[in-house]
């Protein structure tokens, strides 16, 4: 898939295919490819702060759905729980680490969402959950931060639902881009290649 097409095809998928009462299977190879996309993320000082927990256990997925209070999450085939171990980054950068660490997690998450899209797998970034509950379910220690869950499943085959599941409209570039200073000149032309 071309890069622009990939960017435009990604959307938050919250309706997953269920086969014989279970979420449609995704091969381990594909799940590993998605995790590997997080490994390729830039990190301040090349100090890698992210740890991933790949969850495919049904009972745990149901518990994670409860911890996020989002019932659709229970229909996921897999959830990648993205954690930050910030110790080394804090040693290297002190206070600045607090800015770097969530940025790094976000970059890793977006890499994984794009890789999932390329593989035809539905994905959604989930940031709303009770962190303490997630930690308890997965045995995550106190000094580790749970950043997000990347919820994965095969997109529903229901055509009507599929049509509703397009990426949300995005702002015009002229509304988010200034030239040279805050509220500076705006871009009024047609975006090249768009």
Task: Name the site residues for ligand FMN (rule: CB under 6 A).
Answer: 11-12, 14, 70, 124-128, 167-168
Select 168 or 181, whichever has its Cβ closest to ligand FMN: 168
With respect to ligand FMN, which residue has the nearer C-beta, 17 or 70?
A: 70
- What's the min distance (Å) between Cβ of 149 and ligand FMN? 8
Contact 88, 94 (CB under 8 A): no
Residue sitting closest to ligand FMN (CB) = 127
Taking the complex as a whole, the smallest distance from the CB of residue 172 to ligand FMN amounts, in Å, to 15
Whole-number CA gyration radius for the chain: 18
Sheet containing strand 145-153, edge to edge, reads 50-55, 78-84, 145-153, 122-126
Least distance to ligand FMN, CB of residue 58, Å: 20
CB of 167 to ligand FMN, least distance (A): 4
| Nearest CB to ligand FMN, comparing residues 70 and 88 | 70
* Closest among 86, 117, 87, 83 to 11, alpha carbons compared: 117
Residue 59, token pair as written in the block: 């009972």
DSSP 152: E
Q: How far is the CB of 128 from ligand FMN (least distance, A)?
A: 3
Nearer to ligand FMN, 120 or 127 (CB): 127
Alpha helices, DSSP H, located in the chain: 3-9, 28-39, 58-68, 87-93, 97-118, 131-138, 159-164
Q: Which residue has the tokens 């871009």?
A: 187
Nearer residue to ligand FMN within complex by CB, 53 or 150: 150
């Amino acid at each position: 898939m071309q890069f622009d097409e990939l960017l435009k095809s990604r959307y938050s998928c919250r309706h997953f295919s269920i086969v014989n009462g279970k979420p449609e299977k995704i091969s381990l190879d594909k799940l590993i490819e998605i995790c590997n996309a997080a490994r390729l993320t830039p990190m301040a000082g090349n100090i890698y702060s992210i740890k991933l927990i790949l969850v495919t256990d049904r009972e745990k997925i149901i518990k994670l759905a409860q911890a996020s209070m989002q019932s659709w999450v229970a229909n996921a085939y897999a959830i990648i729980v993205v954690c930050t171990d910030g110790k080394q980054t804090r040693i290297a950068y002190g206070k600045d680490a607090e800015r770097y660490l969530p940025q790094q997690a976000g970059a890793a998450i977006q890499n994984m969402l794009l890789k999932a899209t390329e593989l035809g797998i539905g994905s959604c970034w989930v940031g709303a959950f009770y962190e303490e509950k997630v930690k308890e379910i997965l045995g995550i220690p106190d000094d580790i931060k749970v950043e997000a869950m990347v919820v994965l499943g095969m997109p529903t085959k229901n055509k009507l639902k599929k049509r509703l599941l397009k990426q949300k409209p995005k702002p015009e570039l002229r509304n988010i881009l200034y030239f040279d200073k805050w509220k500076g000149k705006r871009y009024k032309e047609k975006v090249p290649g768009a």
